[in-house]
Chain A
Amino acid sequence: MTMTPSSFRPAARVAGSELAVTAMIALLLIGLLPLLHATGQISTFTLSLWGKYLCYALLAISVNLLWGYTGLLSLGQALFFALGGYMHGMYLMRMIGDLGQYHKPIPDFLVFLGWTKLPAFWEPFASFPFAFAMVFLVPGLIAYVFGYLAFRSRIRGVYFSILTQALTYAASILFFRNNLLLGGNNGFTDFKFILGHSLVDRGAGPATMRGLYLVTAVTLLLVYVLCRWLNGTKFGLVQQAIRDGENRVLFSGYATTHYKLFVFVLAACIAALGGALFVPQAGIINPEEMKAQNSLEAVVWVAVGGRGTLVGPILGALCINLLKSWASRAYPDLWLIILGGLFILVVLFLPGGLVSLPARLAPLWRKRAADPAAVTKS
């Protein structure tokens, strides 16, 4: 798949102002919000809502890494996001201990399914380091195997998109089954503790939530910095060259398969990290999170924010989710039409996304600024 220059216009290369904007947003998110929460200005609900948005921003970054910078439109990122969430969720389920409804040492849904002891693969998840490793290993491994098979046989462009969507679809119907022993369609919920800190909505709960929010915001900043750094390296250049003309890169002697595979696995890990941070703040993880539609929604965030830019996906994820929170309450019937319509409009009329808006408006602005002058001259 080639990206002809006309189809893709990177956003304005205004490194200095972008850095300033980013720093300001980061300061707001990392400094101001927790401060407001600590002083009781905003509720824990609002804070963890923002925490969830930041997790979605991580998902958006992973989509952008693939689509914006490598030209691979993956519709399976929600799968990796949810897998990360499930791995962390398994740890959180173990931490409930015997405080569940049935007061048994195994999770409630297993009791409900007639299990008396823990299935073997649940055992090691009592250890946080193990679960933390699994958050990266499981999605990473799946991404590696799938990516290896897909890239080796040169599945590109829309074919890659369709296959990743099918993968997500297959996984979601699998996770809906009770026999998978991962909670069926109810998934995991009702968490009590994380690393010994209470997650319930009383006592030390809000403080834990603030901590989780801070961790998420800092993680997002670190991932952003990582992407920024990667973007400037030779690797980043090859990555973008693959996007703009894979065959030329291939004929120049680069093993594009390896580059793509690395980016795919890296993106899966970033998405999984987002999912892992999402679970304790949302308080639930179920197969709804890995529906194919969620992957596509993440692509909308990136498209609206501005793909192929570093800050665009974060901006897009925040804006669309804020819009969603508002619209799905104010106009529940029309929300999908708004989302769909917005998407059509952005694809057709604003391929560069929100980030490109200032650059596109600037000439108009200048013209208008110039016009009165012209009038007075004459």
Chain B
Amino acid sequence: MMNRIARRLRLLALLSWLGAAALAFAAEAPRQTIVRAILVEDDAEKRALIGTLAGQGDDAIRTLLIAWRSDALFVYAAPDGAKIPVQLTGEKDDKDAQAALRVDNGQALQDAAGRPLRLVGGDLKAVEHDSNLRRAMKAVLDLIDLVAPDPARRIQAIQTIALAQDLSKLPLLQARQKDETDPRARRALREAIALIELKDPKSETRLAALAELKELHTLSSSDFLKRALKEATDQADRPAIAAATAALQAVDLHRSAVDFFGTLFRGVSTGSILLVGALGLAITFGLMRVINMAHGEMIAVGAYTTYVVQNVFGAGVTLPCFGLNLHLSGMNLEGAAYQWYFVAAVPCSFLAAACAGILLERTVIQFLYRRPLESLLATWGVSLVMQQLLKLMFGSNNVQVGSPVYLSGNWTVNDVLLGWNRVFVIGFGGVIVLGMWLVLTKTPLGLLIRAVMQNRGMAACMGVRTTRVNLLTFGLGSGLAGLAGAFLSQIGNVGPTLGQNYIIDSFMVVVVGGVGSIVGTVLSAFAIGGVDQVLQQYLPAWAPGLSWVPGIGSFLQNLAQDAAVFGKIMVLGAIILFLQWKPSGLFSTRSRSLDE
């Protein structure tokens, strides 16, 4: 018993001594080590000193070693006889002199009076390096990223090493495994070690590596596994074949799962884009029965408002407007304050489009409430005029709308890529559906809207001012289109014909959902978005299955490769067939009227 405790104590003492030694060693900054390496005469010692840098994550190491290799390090003999290694950087002036940075502390080299010195490289002796030393430096540089403070860079470095499948790097990675704390980096390390072990001469190690890869089933290992399988087949190594096949199957399974969830996410996000575009239409067309072909232009108004707000927050913008140049001076905000532009743009877009809608209602639509076909034609005329006005004001090319930082970037969950802007649109769709539902069911205005839409004449008899309700309803619908424009500006291009890309889809969504039903609109948007994405994802895979069609088999195969277009056409076909089954959409409003 005592014996064991004593042994443990000894072990502890040994460990703490080792730790202290390591601390003392680490206390010497990498810059100092490099200075020593430069000044020491013996080549072997130089190499040893450089070697000690391996596994340290200081950025200075990289800069200095690269400078050394490219002959940018020099030894400056100070007036007092001290040898100071310096790095010459920056532009050469007319005397060929450059700024000099001290290697030991990274500060500018100063003369006695404290002024920065500028030195001419030709006058000094460059620090020498031979091929052995360069090799030692390369080894350090290769591994420097492995200990970088940023996990993403560490992972990148690990993957680079794995790609080379160099057995000599194995011990280093294994050593790293003990210190690595980031879970993703740990996973990458395991993968890298297993991939390198695939090259191991011992077959047991290779089998173990295959088993490990099977467990990890990363997408990136697929090519290596295929190569391993080929090698195993060439050598007729049965256990290895089985292990490699199993690992490949695991990877394929994972891949199809990733594809599936990726498709699901894209389907939901496409659905919410459709939904956001169609919600305004669900009010103007669904509730008011006004066919507003200029709905797409309302979306464009929202998108352009976002553009203008962005520029007002930034450098300002000049809009040519019928020969006049309308100049909006910018606030020249930067950084976080500028990033807020989008938050300001959202209500502005709503208001701008709502105003445009109210203007349209007053001038054209109010005369056409009982003539839906003619409101279709008149609003198409309006849409032409608005498109041309947008072209005249903003030019016929697309304008740049930048995404604020909080809307750009991706989010990867288990290899499934989720774009922030897409996630945002999904959330936004949810919020406006909720908002719309609250407005329509919980507010006095909602009550009036529903009353007027159900029976305009009766509502008027009860004292409801129907013209005003019509005006507000149309304004609300158009405003929603403007909101859609603000968000779609984050996803696609903003140009004068922006609206045309969404108008047909939006009408389809409302028709399939059942005119007048918000729930139906939501469901049909997600259904159409989902089907569209599924077809885009899987059509190319299904295309070879079309060869059986007599005569035009290969033609169809070719066509199905254009998944985006063919998918859209199939969606349209599906909609027409769906309307055979449910002519008034998913949720039809019940009515006893014959001509509904």
Using a CB–CB cutoff of 8 Å, the interface residues on chain A facing chain B are 1-2, 4, 7, 73, 119-121, 146, 149-150, 152-155, 157-159, 161-163, 165-167, 169-170, 173-174, 176-177, 179-181, 247, 292, 296, 299-300, 303, 333-334, 336-337, 339-344, 347-348, 351
Contact = CB atoms under 8 A, between A and B. Distances in A.
For the residues of A in contact with B, the DSSP-based class is helix
A351 B374 contact: yes
B377 A343 contact: yes
Given A4-B370, A153-B583, A157-B372, A343 B504 contact: no
27 contacts: A1-B373, A7-B371, A149-B576, A150-B576, A155-B579, A157-B373, A158-B373, A159-B511, A161-B291, A162-B507, A166-B504, A166-B572, A173-B569, A174-B565, A174-B566, A296-B380, A299-B377, A300-B377, A336-B387, A337-B385, A339-B384, A343-B377, A343-B384, A344-B382, A347-B377, A347-B378, A348-B364
B583 A73 contact: no
B199 interface: no
Given A292-B504, A340-B385, A347-B378, A179 B372 contact: no
B559 interface: yes
Interface stretch (B21-29, B298-306, B550-558): B550-558
B594 interface: yes
B269 interface: no
Which among A163, A181, A342, A347 has the highest number of chain B CB atoms within 10 Å?
A347
A337 B558 contact: no
Given A296-B380, A337-B384, A343-B377, 10 more contacts: A120-B552, A146-B576, A162-B508, A166-B575, A179-B559, A180-B559, A292-B504, A303-B377, A342-B381, A348-B367
Contact of B376 (A73, A167, A292): A73
B301 to A, nearest CB: 16
A320 to B, nearest CB: 13
B568 interface: yes
Contacts of A180: 559
A177 B559 contact: yes
A121 B552 contact: yes
B542 to A, nearest CB: 16
Nearest to A150: B576
A340 B383 contact: yes
Contacts of A303: 377
B595 to A, nearest CB: 5
A177 B377 CA distance: 30
Interface in B357-403: 364, 367-368, 370-374, 376-378, 380-385, 387-389, 391-392
Given A162-B511, A165-B504, A170-B572, A334 B388 contact: yes
Which among B376, B575, B595 has the highest number of chain A CB atoms within 10 Å?
B376
B565 A121 contact: no
B449 to A, nearest CB: 21
A121 B555 contact: yes
Nearest to A163: B576
What is the size category of the interface that chain B forms with chain A?
35 or more
Nearest to A246: B595
B486 to A, nearest CB: 25
Nearest to B560: A179
B285 to A, nearest CB: 8
Nearest to B577: A149
B412 interface: no
Contact of A166 (B385, B507, B559, B577): B507
B537 interface: no
Given A149-B576, A177-B559, A179-B558, A158 B595 contact: no
A343 B572 contact: no
Given A166-B504, A166-B572, A344-B381, A161 B373 contact: yes
Interface string B504-548: 100110010000000000000000000000000000000000000
Contact of B569 (A4, A157, A165, A170): A170
A167 B381 contact: no
For the residues of B in contact with A, the DSSP-based class is helix
Interface of B: 291, 364, 367-368, 370-374, 376-378, 380-385, 387-389, 391-392, 504, 507-508, 511, 551-552, 555, 558-559, 561-562, 565-566, 568-569, 572, 575-577, 579-580, 583, 594-595
Given A179-B558, A333-B388, A337-B385, A73 B373 contact: yes
Contact of A341 (B370, B385, B579): B385
A158 B569 contact: no
Contacts of A152: 580
B504 A347 contact: no
A170 B571 CA distance: 10
Nearest to A165: B504
A255 to B, nearest CB: 17
A342 B382 CA distance: 10
A149 B374 contact: no
B569 A347 contact: no
Nearest to A160: B373
Given A162-B511, A344-B364, A177 B562 contact: yes
B376 A179 contact: no
A344 B508 CA distance: 25
B382 A340 contact: yes
Nearest to A342: B381
Given A7-B371, A149-B577, A247 B594 contact: yes
A155 to B, nearest CB: 6
Given A121-B552, A121-B555, A166-B508, A340 B384 contact: yes
Contacts of A163: 511, 576, 579
Contacts of A7: 370-371, 374
B280 to A, nearest CB: 16
A137 B378 CA distance: 34
A337 B384 CA distance: 7
A120 B551 contact: yes
A161 B504 CA distance: 11
Contacts of B580: 149, 152-153
A165 to B, nearest CB: 6
Given A4-B370, A150-B576, A339 B504 contact: no
A145 to B, nearest CB: 9
Contacts of A348: 364, 367-368, 378
Nearest to B551: A120
B94 to A, nearest CB: 55
A376 B437 CA distance: 69
B504 to A, nearest CB: 5
Contacts of A169: 504
A217 to B, nearest CB: 29
Contacts of A333: 388, 391-392
B547 to A, nearest CB: 14
Contacts of A292: 504
Given A165-B504, A177-B562, A337 B373 contact: no
A336 B378 contact: no
A194 to B, nearest CB: 27
B378 A344 contact: yes
Given A336-B384, A340-B381, A158 B577 contact: no
Contacts of B507: 162, 165-166
Contacts of A337: 384-385, 388-389
Nearest to A299: B377
